[in-house]
Amino acid sequence: MTETELTFYDKVGGEPFFTALVDVFYREVATDAALRALYPDEDLTAANERFRLFLMQYWGGPTTYSDERGHPRLRMRHGPYPIDVAMRDRWLRAMAIAIEEQQMDAELEDELWRYISMAAISMVNTGGDPVEAHFSSTPPN
């Protein structure tokens, strides 16, 4: 397989990368009371697995997520949870920390961050315009 034939999933190292990324993300979720309140389960293990499987599938890995849960339907699945711009930014901050800790190749990091940013913007379902002036398409520090 040539470099151009490799999926993003392959380029970042497959499942171990996504496991580490999502583990750090949920470590951050657990420390943010407002963000943590969006997750109804006492234990974040199931949420961690769903997110990890979704990301792996999205980026070219196994289709386990769809095999087990059907089409992702992200907006529908997140609809019951009030997500405003402030919550979006909290979520993005946790994800930025997770991405930073992976010490990725800059091009791959940019590609991942573009998707994460777009997905976070699209999840805003309450409050004003989800694309406000203070939002940046680069990870927060």
For the domain made up of 9-123, give the CATH fold: Globin-like (1.10.490)
Three-class DSSP category at 92: helix
Three-class DSSP category at 4: helix
Query: What residue segments make up the domains of the chain, in order of their start?
Result: 9-123
Q: What angle do CA 133, 140, 42 make, to 5 degrees?
A: 105
pLDDT per residue of the chain (141 residues) written in tens, 0 to 9: 566 789 999 999 999 999 999 999 999 999 999 999 988 778 899 999 999 999 999 999 999 888 776 655 555 454 456 778 888 999 999 999 999 999 999 999 999 999 999 988 888 877 765 555 344 455 555
Residues 6 or more apart from 88 whose CB is under 8 A from it? 120, 121, 123, 124, 130, 135
Element housing 54 (H / E): helix 45-58
Question: What CA–CA distance (Å, rounded) separates 124 from 120?
Answer: 7
